[in-house]
Amino acid sequence: MKNKNQKNHLTDSSSNMGLTTRKLQSQIITGEPPHYFEVKNIDGERYLHCGSEQDAKATCEMHKGFTYDKVYLPATPKTVDVPHVRLAPDFELPAQQILPESELQPFEV
């Protein structure tokens, strides 16, 4: 027997299904530019990249002397110029009109 009061979770703004809720959507949009965290070892060499500061801190706590920095991604350009090159007609392959006869032999099992 079906429940007659079922909600459509894909369109309902009060449901708790992942990114469809208004509350979770507002948490994602933070206004901060895209970034990642780079953990460096004692010698200052890159050890790993993390997506969250919490992971970077945990790695630094496990390895004494490690540090981390926040690295911002470069801004994406608003427009991109893509040039095109027109090739001369002689670069085109000529149409093949005659195909060679097949030399296939029947396969017998």
Digitized pLDDT (tens) for each residue of the chain, 109 residues in all: 455 555 554 554 444 454 556 666 666 555 788 899 999 999 999 999 999 999 999 999 999 999 999 999 988 778 888 888 887 766 667 777 776 777 778 888 8
**Is 44 a member of any domain?**
yes
User: Structural domain tally of the chain?
Assistant: 1
**Is 47 a member of any domain?**
yes
Strand 46-50, strand 35-40: pairing:
antiparallel
Could you tell me the residue range of the domain that residue 44 belongs to?
Answer: 33-73
**Is 43 a member of any domain?**
yes
What does the buried/exposed string (b/e) look like for 80-98 if buried means 16 or more CB atoms within 10 Å of the residue's CB? eeeeeeeeeeeeeeeeeee
**Is 48 a member of any domain?**
yes
